Amino acid sequence: MIYFTYVLKSQKNKDIYIGSCENVLIRLQRHNTGKVKSTKGYKPWDLLEYKEFSIRGEAVKHERFLKTHQQKEIIKNKYNKA
């Protein structure tokens, strides 16, 4: 099994969302069809990047790392230029 950590950007308000899952494309579809409570008000979402892991715990650990204030600011700056 492969696990992923992913970064999304809202087309509506340019917000960044970070998560982890087993299938990035299915998860993106769930975000964009309003099936994820925390993101449904800000759809549609664009997939900006993802990283693969062979162990679920590593994907979750990387998700938590990216959600730290400093890392989230780095991601926001990287994708909100222009």
Q: Look at domain 3-79 and name its CATH class.
A: alpha beta
Domain-wise residue ranges, the chain: 3-79
Instruction: Please tell me the predicted confidence (pLDDT) of residue 24.
Output: 97
The β-bridge partners of 65 are none
**Residue 66 CB: number of other CB atoms within 10 A?**
20
Cα–Cα nearest to 48, from 72, 67, 75: 75
Judge whether 2 and 53 are in contact, CB under 8 Å: yes
What SS3 state is found at 21?
strand
Q: State pLDDT tens for residues 7-43.
A: 999 999 999 999 999 999 999 999 999 999 999 999 9
